[in-house]
Chains A and B, each alone.
Chain A
Amino acid sequence: MSDHASPVRGAYLTRGSAAVLAVAAVGILIYLTRMFLGLEKVTNLDNQWPWGIWIAVDVATGVALAAGGFTSAALVYIFGHRRYHPLIRPALLTAMLGYTFVVIGLLADLGRWYNVWHPMLPSMWQGNSVLFEVGICVMIYLCVLYIEFVPIVVERFKGRVALRGASQGLNRTIEKLLHAADATLSRFMFIFIIAGVVLSCLHQSSLGTLMLIAPTKMSPLWYTPVMPALFLLSAIAVGFPMIIFESLLASRSFRLPPEMNLLAGLGRIVTFTLGIYAVAKIVDLTVREAWPWAFAGGTQAVMFWIEMLGGVLLPLVLFALPRVRRDPRGLFAAATLTVLGVALNRINVFLVAYRPPFAGPTYFPSVFEILLTAGLIATLVLVYRAIVMIFPVIAAPHGAGASVHVGESGRPHSQAQAR
């Protein structure tokens, strides 16, 4: 199988990535402002609206869109669809960076961010708290993701450690460590792969349990006791579309031929996963007799229909059509709609569905909140770009040769490849 990954070659800094860098820089400035001058200075949060887009987007959507990691691991390693193996590493990297940035984004939202480690202390464990479970699962899963990434680092440096000067003497020790890590990890990696899938099922669903503690504040369009199941199903449904979305953007950015063969195959599976989610949602709304609220007008109803039609049913139809799946643009459209649909679902659940009883004006994010979120995404894109240029993450599509590189003459056309 010629799915061997290698570092992408080419210039890191292009006009496109410079623009992304500017967005990241603004975001980092706001981040620092928030960390040292407080929430009041940059957010529109108040006592009625304690959660804003940093929770709905940076955390909840971030976790959902990192689902490509566990869904692809399950597909390839557990369910044995080995031909999709070339997609594993980019998905793993996305998940690893996605969760890392979930934590970075969460820190910005926490009033006492320096206490973020408190849930680890047994004296503060709180087994009744849904958030506690989410926190612990995300923490462990993040470690699992980093462990899963170790072989990629080992592969990059094994047999090539050549430090110079004073640290020269360490070369042999480091080589030994790399070999030991390689041997140990390849034997026990299956433990972490299964753990990653189980941990993902747990916290993806538990994110959907969070808002169930506020039944009187939630719109019946989203409030349902099976919300954890819907969150898990939607995470599974968005995993492959996220991989497709990202793979197509990356191949465009790095001027590589798209992996259409594999991506179209994933698209076929999405027809099932997204279909199940769509059916579950419709059955749930019907059983709870919640449809009247969908026709009641107002922001909530409008947002509901955008989510259902544009983010669930339309992409489902697109994925179901073989003609669309085989066309890069069609596939990209279907994947993007699914990604936006699940993102909108998280925003709807955490912000739009939430209606506190004694509220003043409805929360809308401040410019700074939006710029910080954009800055985090931009930073993630830049780190992703750096890592795929340093480490063997992206594999050349079949027939394109073992080595991935941008033509000597051609500057990589750099579109932001998003998360």
Chain B
Amino acid sequence: MSMDRRDFLKFAAAGSTALAIGGSLTAEADASATALDSPRNDAFGVLMDTTFCVGCRKCEWGCNQANEVPKVDKAVFEDKSILTSHRRPDAVAYTVVNQVTAPPETEQPVFVKIQCMHCNRPACVSACIVGALRKQPEGPVTYDAWKCIGCRYCMVACPFQIPGYEYTRALQPRVMKCGFCAERTMKEGRKPGCVENCPNEALTFGRRGELRELAHQKIAAAPSRYLNHVYGEYEAGGTSWMYLAGIDFVRADLPTLGSHAMPSLTEKIQHGVFKNFVPPLALYGLLGLVMASQRKDDGEGGNDE
């Protein structure tokens, strides 16, 4: 019976697609790893030295003033009781400061400011179906609400779990995340709202390459004060924002991530499957051949559908 041969052909077609996917994985396995740290060193970044942060929340207020979010009275930010509640950035606050340790454990309480990390190769940008999210050469990852269709794949993709969404807005909800005050940083080289309001040198604005050097100098100058780890130097392929701390970064609400950029696998698969459109066209040709050979077998001409 010819059934088995036909079944075999069917599986062969399915299998070849699987192989195409698998092959693309291995073929370009290390394409992105090499370019890991080279880009964006001249882009803007911020180094947060958590050992200098006193949890005054003035950066939160500065952020609120600088961005298109509901305005909050300055006095609200003087409330220190919410510092220990492990807040996350959301649709109304692009940045939050959390207290992650208390004195018996560490000499001083440790505060960490959380906001978009402005990755070198951001997952959100790779995920975005319409290019509403963009990594600017100057550093910021910016958002264009006009393009956005509101699929929220960027929120699924972000390894730092940063973007918030305006679920409450009925018709024009936006993805809400720190944009690095792109207007002023990119065009005027001015500091972003949070850095401008930091009274204590916890936040340093500058070129990413210079900030890395500064970070390593600080560690070298005071090895007992810091872990020998600049968070964001390599995490997720490197980020524009980086951190220094005296405690384990996991404790500081910063996720443990490898040095691979998040989109490296998905982009490899996508570009492998669509390499010059060869795999889809090859599959089309293969199926066409099978179809033609079957018609000859049947001795049937036209399509009966």
Residues of A near B163 (CB, < 8 A) are 47
Interface assignment of B229: CB less than 8 Å from any CB of chain A: no
Evaluate whether A226 and B130 lie within 8 angstroms (CB atoms) in the complex, with A47-B91, A201-B17, A201-B283 already known.
Answer: no
C-alpha gap A47/B89 in the complex (Å)? 9
Of B105-113, B148-156, B194-202, the one contacting chain A is: B148-156
Q: Let me know if B265 and A118 touch, CB within 8 A.
A: no
A205-B21, A229-B22 are known contacts. Are A126 and B131 too (CB-CB below 8 A)?
A: yes
**Would you call B253 and A133 a contact (CB within 8 A)?**
no
What residues of A have a CB within 8 angstroms of the CB of B126 in the complex?
Answer: 128-129, 213
- Interface stretch of the complex, out of A109-117, A322-330, A408-416: A109-117
Whether A40 pairs with B127 at a CB distance below 8 angstroms is: no
A151-B159 contact in complex given A198-B287, A229-B22, C-beta closer than 8 Å: no
- A78-B287, A79-B290, A190-B303 are contacts. A116–B167 as well, Cβ < 8 Å? no
CA distance A226 to B274 in the complex (A): 16
Residue of B nearest to A116 (CB): B149
Q: Give per-residue flags for B262-296: 1 if the beta carbon is below 8 A from chain A beta carbons, else 0.
A: 11011101110110000010011001101100110
Contacting residue for A202 out of B148, B280, B297, B298, CB 8 A? B280
Known pairs A40-B168, A112-B173, A202-B273; A358 contacts B265 (CB<8 A): no
Whether B294 lies near A124 (C-beta < 8 A) is: no
A10-18, A31-39, A361-369 - the one binding chain B: A31-39
CA of A129 to CA of B288, assembled, Å: 29
* Contact A209:B266 (CB < 8 A) given known A131-B127, A131-B153: yes
| Bound CA–CA A127/B268 (angstroms) | 12
Contact A194-B287, Cβ < 8 Å, known A50-B152, A115-B149: yes
Find chain A residues with CB under 8 A from B291 CB: 77-78, 80, 190, 193-194
Q: Decide yes or no whether A30 CB sits under 8 A from chain B.
A: no
With A and B bound together, what is the CA distance between A195 and B170 in angstroms?
Answer: 38
Contact of A38 among B159, B167, B297 (CB under 8 A): B167
Are B131 and A229 in touch, CB under 8 angstroms?
no
Contact of B159 among A74, A135, A217, A354 (CB under 8 A): A217
Taking a contact as CB atoms under 8 Å apart, the answer to whether B149 and A214 are in contact is no
Q: Is the C-beta of B161 less than 8 angstroms from some C-beta in chain A?
A: yes
Question: In the complex, what distance in Å separates the CA atom of A371 from the CA atom of B221?
Answer: 62
Interface string of A173-203 (1 = CB under 8 A from B): 0000000000000110110011101100110
B45 interfacial by beta-carbon distance below 8 Å: no
Pairwise interchain contact B161-A48, C-beta atoms closer than 8 A: yes
A404 CB within 8 Å of chain B: no
Q: Are B129 and A225 in contact (CB under 8 A)?
A: no
Selected contact of A47 from candidates B21, B164, B171, B262, CB within 8 Å:
B164
B18 beta carbon closer than 8 Å to chain A: yes
B68 CB-CB contact with A under 8 Å: no
A357 in the interface (beta carbon within 8 A): yes
The contact size tier of chain A is: 35 or more
Pair B88/A118 contact, Cβ less than 8 Å: no
B165 interface contact, C-beta 8 A: yes
**A102 interface residue (CB < 8 Å to B):** no
Q: Does A128 contact B270, Cβ atoms closer than 8 Å?
A: yes
Q: Which residues of A contact B165 (CB under 8 A)?
A: 45, 47, 50, 111
Confirm or deny: A303 has a beta carbon within 8 angstroms of a beta carbon on chain B: no
- B123 near A233 with CB under 8 A, answer no
Interface assignment of A401: CB less than 8 Å from any CB of chain B = no
Bound form: Cα–Cα A5–B284 in Å? 29
CA distance A228 to B17 in the complex (A): 10
Complex Cα distance, B273 from A47, in Å, reads: 32
Q: A79-B294, A213-B123 known; A226 and B21 CB under 8 Å?
A: yes
| Residues of chain A contacted by B148 (CB below 8 angstroms) | 111-112, 115
A21 to B253, CA, bound (A): 49
Given the known A-B contacts A79-B6, A128-B270, A214-B159, are A189 and B303 also in contact in the complex, defined by CB atoms under 8 Å?
yes
Residues in A neighbouring B265, C-beta threshold 8 A: 212-213, 215, 225
Interface residue A210 (Cβ < 8 Å from any Cβ of B) = yes
Q: If A80-B298, A126-B128, A128-B126 touch, does A232 touch B149 (CB 8 Å cutoff)?
A: no
Interface string of A151-170 (1 = CB under 8 A from B): 10000000000000000000
Annotate B1-35 by CB proximity to A: 1 below 8 A, 0 otherwise. Answer: 00100110111011001100110010000000000
- Chain B residues with Cβ under 8 A from A217's Cβ? 156, 159
Contact A118-B147, Cβ < 8 Å, known A48-B161, A81-B6: yes
Q: Nearest chain B CB to A398's CB is how many angstroms away?
A: 17
| Distance of A115 Cα from B151 Cα, bound (Å) | 10
Contacting residues, chain A, for B257 (C-beta < 8 A): 216
Chain A residue numbers with a CB within 8 Å of B164 are: 47
Specify which of A135, A269, A358 lies most central, judged by the most chain B CB atoms within 10 Å of its CB: A358
A213–B263 CA distance with the chains assembled, in angstroms:
5
Q: Do A118 and B149 form a contact, CB below 8 Å, given A128-B267, A186-B303, A233-B18? A: yes
Assembly CA distance A119 to B156 (angstroms):
19
A–B complex contacts, Cβ < 8 Å, 20 sampled: A43-B167, A46-B167, A47-B164, A74-B10, A75-B10, A78-B290, A79-B294, A111-B150, A111-B166, A112-B173, A119-B130, A128-B263, A194-B287, A201-B17, A206-B270, A214-B157, A226-B25, A228-B269, A229-B22, A358-B88
Closest 7 CB pairs of A and B: A111-B150, A80-B294, A38-B170, A50-B152, A50-B155, A229-B18, A112-B150
Q: B interface vs A, CB < 8 Å?
A: 3, 6-7, 9-11, 13-14, 17-18, 21-22, 25, 86, 88, 90-91, 123, 125-131, 147-153, 155-157, 159, 161, 163-173, 253, 255, 257, 262-263, 265-267, 269-271, 273-274, 280, 283-284, 287-288, 290-291, 294-295, 297-298, 300, 302-305
Known: A82-B300, A211-B156. 6 other contacts (CB 8 A): A36-B170, A118-B130, A128-B263, A194-B288, A233-B18, A356-B161
